Structure 1
Amino acid sequence: MRFLKTPTNKYLTLVTTAGIIFFLSFINYPQYSTKEWLTMLAIAGTILLLNYYTILLPPNGNSLSMDSSVYLACLFLYGLPFTLNVLLIHSIVFSLLQRKIVWWKHIFNFSTYALMIISSYYAFIFIGGTIGSIHFNNLVPYLIALSSYFAINVVLLGVYFILAAAESLESIFKEIIKEILSPYLSTLMLSLVLAILMSKESLFGLFLFTCIAFLLSLAFKQHFHLFKKISEKANKDFLTGLNNHGYFKEILEKEVTSAKESDQPLCVVLLDIDDFKKYNDLYGHIQGDHLLQEFGSLVKTASEAENYTVARYGGEEFSIIMPNTTYQKAISFMNELRKKTNDTYYKGVESLPYGCLSFSAGIAECEKETYNISELLNKADQAMYAAKGQGKNLVHIYNQYSEYSAQRSLSLEKELEEAEHQLRIFLSKDVYTYRHSKRVYQYAVNFSRILSLSDYERKSLILGALIHDIGKIEIPRDILNKKGKLEPHEWEMMKKHVTWGKEIISTNKKLEDLIPLVELHHERFDGNGYPYGLKGKSIPKLARILCIIDSFDAMTTERPYQKTKTFNEAIVELRICSGKQFDPQFVEPFIAMIKQFDDTGEILEDEPLVVNC
């Protein structure tokens, strides 16, 4: 009874029971001739062999077994009872040969095959297919039989993965279909090839098919190993043998996605060997390359003990991905590594300022609202340069309130001037959007003064507010200025302004930190926004703040398709939508600021509020 407590075990029991019941209902044992029994045993033996010699498919090493091709060919030539007998013989022999596999897995596997074979047979017969020989007239029934076989397999596997992984129905089925659609199309072709061979020369045809399958398996295995070897070379740094910069980013992308979905900690480290240029100048580049190799080996050995991923980021910079690691554990690990580096002798390091090899490192922790890996790496980079600035041979954790973050930012005036230049492109097309952006910018300036934002965040919010609607330059004038409610297709086009805005500012590297504000300011706290439907704190903080400011100005300013609200009416709306459209953490502080204004937007003479969020 304990076995039936979990949903997955209940499901396994249900499918197994159904498969056995259907098998017993359709199996029979007529008086087969000696030749038929010999054919049956030969087919079962072929399936055993093909299960061992599978075809490996790059890039992930998924394997294609041709056992389904054999079952379908057997079904088309000999009918259902014969095929079920083949399945039974194969399953018994396979379970005896693979006794390390848990017994219930053998039974479940047998049941799923029985359900797929039975469903395919009746789909084939229902469409008008005829058993016995291969005809072109049966082409549609062949396709329907394969579709039925495929559909049952997808449903049985999909439901299990949904129960086991608690993932969405759509994502599970998309992944399964993507993985097995192509192999199943191959299965149909191969099943027809086998059926034609066996219809002409029964056992000899089966022998020829088995030889072809065996040779294909060997050829694809060699091809796959060659592919892996070339892929590894492409992903490795030639000098140190570590992962290279490009592959590091691929791994980091996956790890960040996984960490955010599972709500597990993740840290990223960038480290730079101190005074490496001086070492190169003293001893030459060949000796410098030896130092990089030895240091890379040291970092790799220490990191692999913790299941961390190491890469050569570029030059004398290295990077480490630390899954399931808090910043406390990360700084402890890095300080131990730093001490070990100091204590390890490398030829010529006595000439360096510290008399030993040292590095400076920056650590950034992935948060729920981290927008992308570029933001994470930028934080680690800032922390690393902060360590350099404090005297080197240090490990520094990214702190958004550090003076260094402010030092690394360009002056606000210069950035605003550039953003203002970008924004003036609206003047010839949409004066309303230009004026709206200027008002949102002013609200952002005032609101940033009363929030506990770092200089870097404050500048990003103000700049983002100024250019957040820049993508509307791509919207046709007649839609922007339309009186009355937008049609559904017009509204869909209007929503694309966030994506177009992202594309516009992505061309300017100085503005890349503003991408989250431009692209995500219409995301909603409850997950019903666009373009991605992000929810809660998975939306970057500054985008959540900008959403409130942008919406307030939109409500209180006349628009072509919407009447204006008074400030008091808009405040009521903000409170109604707090926790739905807006992050409640920032709604009341914004309202407190607005209450210092009259309806003309002029600041009253009250003392400024200071709010810690």
Structure 2
Amino acid sequence: MVRNRQNIYMVFICVLSLFLLFLHFPFQVGELSNWVLIYTFIGAILLLNHFSVILPSGNFLSMDSALYLACIFLYGINVPLLALILSSFVFFFIRFKMEWWKHLFNFSNYSIMIVSTYYMFIASGGKVGNIDVTNLWPYTISLTVYFLLNLVLMWLYLFLASKLSIRNVFQKLTKKDDVKEAFLSYLCTLVLSLVMTIVIHEQPIFGIFLFISLSITLSLAFSKVFSLYKHEETRAQKDFLTGLNNHGYFKQTLDEFIKRSEYEDPFSIVLLDLDDFKKYNDFNGHVQGDELLTFFGGFISEKIKDHTFIAARYGGEEFAIIMPETTQEQAKMFMDKIRKEYNETPFKGVEILPLGCLSFSAGITEYEKGTYGASELLARADKALYYAKAEGKNNCQIYKEGRFHHKGHQIKEEIDGLEQQLQIFLSKDIYTYQHSKRVFRYAVDISDQLDLSEEEKRRLILGALIHDIGKIEIPRDIINKKGKLQVHEWEMMKKHVTYGKEILSSVKKYDDLLPLVELHHERYDGKGYPYGLKGENIPKLARILCIIDSFDAMTTERPYQKTKTFTEAIEELRKCSGQQFDPVFVEPFIKMVEHGDR
């Protein structure tokens, strides 16, 4: 279906292009000097396509667009069209490895842009051959049409050639950096086309020669700079010992994968640890230990070279892999396969290891909608890795909530530790302290009513207790203000979720509570803060906490809000179910409250 749509679109563009060419046939060129100019243009176009200017993103900018625009401004429609036809014919034979339909489609796009730009130039008051630098509007409007047509034709092709929605394709094409780069490149094209127009008008052949010389010089200079930049960038991204990517590059790449994961295929991550590396290092020495790390880096690189996987040294003897378009089950199969190959690989000094061979343990998890960024994903993989170690090492484990539960006394110790953090509210804001304790008790009760794993119960209970910790940073006069908050005061109050995240981030053991602290004011309909997340993009436990937090806020005395009765608050929950609150969890909470389980 996608392929058929793409083919129909390309046929339509080609037919439209042929129709426009037919309307202008035969091309009136005139005297012999114009033919000399056309051949010069063709040679220039071929050279400009070969010596493209490389941009910071790695994309290429061909200067031939500036040449076509200058032709339009100086000679009208016939010269650029004829130059396009003849140069495309030459390209067909030079780039013989390229499919014929790509040549035709590329030619069709250019011809549509050239014809449309010419008529827009005339319609906006431009006069062919008459250079008026005091009135740049016709030139600016013409280039804008050229730019927009290029963008639209490319956008439609990508949309029809992919399974993505219109919104997602548009998002991919309108990334901030890409848009900025495109704008600057086309601004350069406008300036260069005007400069070319003036120079060619005075000295046609010499002007083209001068422009080509400048373009080739820029192309070579930019290529050299880009090569040096990529070399330094690669050095900054690589771990010198193993040859793999380093920790910083891995985290940056993982963040990028998570940002675009809403509309692309799923991916999995793996954290793996070389078993008994410390023992190997202590017995054989650090030099031999470094050799083992170097060997393992090469081993992993070899195993993933035929895949789109991204491997990195995460730290010490710990490594990480991002596996695009791979489910956690597929990731486990792959990791088990290479683990067994690693077991069978001979290496100096392994006889002192407990297993008598090289081995590693791995924790695997798959990105799920609503995951709270890289910290939660890595925390899940780390817990799976911990379980793999606990299972005797030399195995790979997929993260499963129920498998990684915490014993009751451990939760109690964590609760006691977090309650000490709340003590500061006793002197500054007694309301927030009491509110946090009530929300905590609600969370304890509702966690037994819902189908949650032990780990989810733990996170909900602890997150409920500490969810408003960021209010420590809010000025006392705003927290305790009587009456409605002003707009700037409300904006300050909303920042408590961000402050809370920053405070809790300093205690690494509570990274898994960050989603509840930062996102408990997100709304199911996407109108919450701080990010405006919607539906299941909000982590499940944050959606539950939103209901608990709102109910307690409605039913207890607050400085800037009237108190509701339980009945009124329940009516409000039902009224806002599916809007502010996740309807899946509203009724179970109401049932708990109505039965007096509070």
Q: Tell me which amino acid in the other structure corresponds to 1:34.
A: L
Q: How far off its partner does 1:483 sit?
A: 7.2
Q: Residue deviations 1:264-304, cap 9 Å, x none?
A: 3x332222222222222222111112222223322332333
Of the structure 1 ranges 415-424 and 432-441, higher mean CA displacement relative to structure 2 is found in 415-424
Give the equivalent residue in structure 2 for 1:607: none
Distance 1:417 1:35, change over 3 A: same
Q: Which secondary structure state, in structure 2, belongs to the residue aligned with residue 402 of structure 1?
A: helix
Of the structure 1 ranges 350-359 and 247-256, higher mean CA displacement relative to structure 2 is found in 247-256
1:71-220 correspondence runs (5 A) = 71-132=68-129, 134-164=131-161, 165-168=164-167, 170-175=170-175, 177-220=179-222
Give the equivalent residue in structure 2 for 1:237: 239
Q: Which secondary structure state, in structure 2, belongs to the residue aligned with residue 137 of structure 1?
A: coil
Q: Which secondary structure state, in structure 2, belongs to the residue aligned with residue 321 of structure 1?
A: strand
1:154–1:177 Cα contact (<8 Å) kept: no
Indicate the percent of aligned positions where both proteins have the same amino acid. 54
Q: Which secondary structure state, in structure 1, belongs to the residue aligned with residue 134 of structure 2?
A: helix
1:457-536 correspondence runs (5 A) = 457-472=456-471, 495-536=494-535
Q: Which secondary structure state, in structure 1, belongs to the residue aligned with residue 322 of structure 2?
A: strand
TM-score normalized by the length of structure 2:
0.88
Q: Tell me which amino acid in the other structure corresponds to 2:377.
A: L
Residue 48 of structure 1 pairs with residue 49 of structure 2: no
Give the equivalent residue in structure 2 for 1:553: 552
Distance 1:85 1:575, change over 3 A: same
Structure 1 CA distance, aligned partners of 2:172 and 2:283?
58
Give the equivalent residue in structure 1 for 2:284: 283
Of the structure 1 ranges 324-333 and 437-446, higher mean CA displacement relative to structure 2 is found in 324-333
Distance 1:287 1:506, change over 3 A: closer
Q: How far off its partner does 1:206 sit?
A: 0.8
Structure 2 CA distance, aligned partners of 1:12 and 1:287?
59
Give the equivalent residue in structure 2 for 1:303: 304
Residue 70 of structure 1 pairs with residue 67 of structure 2: yes
Number of equivalences: 593
Distance 1:141 1:486, change over 3 A: farther
Residue 450 of structure 1 pairs with residue 449 of structure 2: yes
Q: How far off its partner does 1:4 sit?
A: 9.8
Q: Residue deviations 1:57-101, cap 9 Å, x none?
A: 23x420010011101122222223333333333333333444544
Unaligned regions of 5+ residues in structure 2, if any?
Answer: none
Give the equivalent residue in structure 2 for 1:269: 270
Q: Tell me which amino acid in the other structure corresponds to 1:406.
A: H
Q: Tell me which amino acid in the other structure corresponds to 2:497.
A: V
Distance 1:385 1:489, change over 3 A: same
Structure 1 CA distance, aligned partners of 2:235 and 2:409?
39
Q: Tell me which amino acid in the other structure corresponds to 2:148.
A: A
Distance 1:432 1:15, change over 3 A: farther
1:501–1:519 Cα contact (<8 Å) kept: yes
Q: Residue deviations 1:398-425, cap 9 Å, x none?
A: 232235x527x99445544554454455
1:27–1:85 Cα contact (<8 Å) kept: no
Structure 1 CA distance, aligned partners of 2:454 and 2:152?
53
Structure 2 CA distance, aligned partners of 1:3 and 1:569?
52
2:379–2:512 Cα contact (<8 Å) kept: no
Distance 1:116 1:561, change over 3 A: farther
Of the structure 1 ranges 287-296 and 110-119, higher mean CA displacement relative to structure 2 is found in 110-119
1:130–1:138 Cα contact (<8 Å) kept: no
Of the structure 1 ranges 36-45 and 158-167, higher mean CA displacement relative to structure 2 is found in 158-167
Structure 2 CA distance, aligned partners of 1:349 and 1:172?
49
Of the structure 1 ranges 276-285 and 136-145, higher mean CA displacement relative to structure 2 is found in 136-145
2:269–2:322 Cα contact (<8 Å) kept: yes
Structure 2 CA distance, aligned partners of 1:453 and 1:284?
47
Structure 1 CA distance, aligned partners of 2:25 and 2:506?
67
Unaligned regions of 5+ residues in structure 1, if any?
Answer: 604-613
Q: Tell me which amino acid in the other structure corresponds to 1:61.
A: G
Q: Tell me which amino acid in the other structure corresponds to 1:521.
A: H
Q: Residue deviations 1:564-588, cap 9 Å, x none?
A: 4332343344344444433333233
Q: Which secondary structure state, in structure 1, belongs to the residue aligned with residue 342 of structure 2?
A: helix
Distance 1:83 1:357, change over 3 A: closer
Distance 1:29 1:473, change over 3 A: same
Structure 1 CA distance, aligned partners of 2:360 and 2:2?
54
Q: Which secondary structure state, in structure 2, belongs to the residue aligned with residue 70 of structure 1?
A: helix
1:241-260 correspondence runs (5 A) = 241-260=243-262
Q: Which secondary structure state, in structure 1, belongs to the residue aligned with residue 406 of structure 2?
A: helix
1:259–1:323 Cα contact (<8 Å) kept: no
Give the equivalent residue in structure 2 for 1:34: 32
Q: How far off its partner does 1:561 sit?
A: 5.6
Q: Tell me which amino acid in the other structure corresponds to 2:334.
A: F
1:273–1:316 Cα contact (<8 Å) kept: yes
Structure 1 CA distance, aligned partners of 2:194 and 2:80?
15
Q: How far off its partner does 1:550 sit?
A: 1.4
Give the equivalent residue in structure 1 for 2:543: 544
Q: Residue deviations 1:177-216, cap 9 Å, x none?
A: 3442121112122222322332232112211211221232
Give the equivalent residue in structure 1 for 2:318: 317
Structure 1 CA distance, aligned partners of 2:590 and 2:498?
29
Of the structure 1 ranges 587-596 and 422-431, higher mean CA displacement relative to structure 2 is found in 422-431
Q: Residue deviations 1:486-506, cap 9 Å, x none?
A: 777766555444334333433
Structure 1 CA distance, aligned partners of 2:133 and 2:307?
60
Q: How far off its partner does 1:103 sit?
A: 4.0
Residue 391 of structure 1 pairs with residue 392 of structure 2: yes
Structure 2 CA distance, aligned partners of 1:249 and 1:280?
27
Q: Cα RMSD between the aligned structures?
A: 3.2
Q: Which secondary structure state, in structure 2, belongs to the residue aligned with residue 322 of structure 1?
A: strand
Q: Residue deviations 1:463-492, cap 9 Å, x none?
A: 322332344556677766777777777665
